[in-house]
Amino acid sequence: MIKAASVSGLSPDSNDTADGFWKFTSSSVFAATVVTTIGYGNIIPLTTAGQIFCVLFALFGIPLNVVILNRVGKYMLAIERNFCNFLEKKFDRGKCVRISIHSISFVSSALLYFMLPMLLFKAYEGWSYAEAIYYCFITLSTIGFGDYVADHNPAIIYPEWYSCLMAAWIFFGLAWLALLINHSIDLLESVNAYLRGRQNAQIQVEEPKEQPEKGLKVEET
């Protein structure tokens, strides 16, 4: 009975009832958590038609969302590369500039997608800093335990822009993770190409040393 009442929007702490979880803002967050495979579990479809629609929506929405996030991550990486190439032409130390730009981009993105949401959740949800950063990590990593969920407390009156901002944060935060994945792949490929180049150079240096020894053996025979 308590579980059914909480799903309907009743807050046992303040004895208040929210105006329903299936609002436009909360429904947009639910759609975002479905296609991103976060799946908090705080809002679920209860009717058979809603469950069937959710299955079809996830069946087509999840692959499409993966493609979009991958594209957005590649575009963000391309913008960063073009900016690095522009600065490399202006300065002599190209590698130092590239490393500095990548480091600044990583730090600023971490502040944008972790620190600022942490302050926002602390202010509106009443969480501690540890709980807020824990929620940010669990959400952006798509683990989605559901023990902490923003915009879900019936005792709190949230502004209208809160859920929309949360949905945008989830989307662009996952795109930022896609950027980090693409950037890590790019770095690994660069390291692999560098190691292969050194290995090929060592082979080319060793081959001339072996040829005279073969010639001496032929003369002896």
Q: Residues 132-177: pLDDT tens digits?
A: 999 998 998 888 888 888 887 777 888 878 888 888 888 888 888 7
- Mean pLDDT, to the nearest integer, of 97-124? 82
The pLDDT value given to residue 193: 77
- Mean pLDDT, to the nearest integer, of 74-78? 78
Report residue 131's pLDDT band, with 50, 70 and 90 as the boundaries.
very high
Distance between CA atoms of 29 and 8, rounded to whole angstroms? Answer: 17
Distance between CA atoms of 135 and 192, rounded to whole angstroms? Answer: 36
- How many CA atoms are closer than 13 Å to the CA of 129, on its beta-carbon side? 2
Report residue 15's pLDDT band, with 50, 70 and 90 as the boundaries.
low
Q: Where are the alpha helices (DSSP H) in the chain?
A: 2-8, 24-35, 48-90, 94-110, 116-125, 129-140, 160-220
The pLDDT value given to residue 54: 92
Query: Average model confidence (pLDDT) for the chain?
Result: 78
The pLDDT value given to residue 176: 82
Are the CB atoms for 72 and 170 separated by under 8 Å? no
By three-state DSSP, how is residue 93 classified?
coil
- 187: tokens are 């770095």
Query: What percentage of the chain carries pLDDT values higher than 70?
Result: 80
- Dihedral pair phi/psi, residue 159, rounded to 5°: -70, 160
Q: What angle do CA 146, 150, 156 make, to 5 degrees?
A: 125
Report residue 218's pLDDT band, with 50, 70 and 90 as the boundaries.
very low
- Mean pLDDT, to the nearest integer, of 51-71? 90
**What DSSP character marks residue 157?**
-
- Mean pLDDT, to the nearest integer, of 67-73? 82
The answer to whether the pTM exceeds 0.85 is no
Report residue 57's pLDDT band, with 50, 70 and 90 as the boundaries.
very high
- 35: tokens are 């296609």
Which of 12-21, 86-95, 134-143, 198-207 is the most confident on average? Answer: 134-143
Q: What angle do CA 53, 58, 60 make, to 5 degrees?
A: 100
Tell me which residue of 10, 30, 6 sits closest to 18, measured CA to CA. 10
Distance between CA atoms of 172 and 28, rounded to whole angstroms? Answer: 15
Residue 84 has pLDDT above 90, yes or no: no
Report residue 1's pLDDT band, with 50, 70 and 90 as the boundaries.
confident
Beta bridge partners of 10: 17
**What DSSP character marks residue 47?**
S
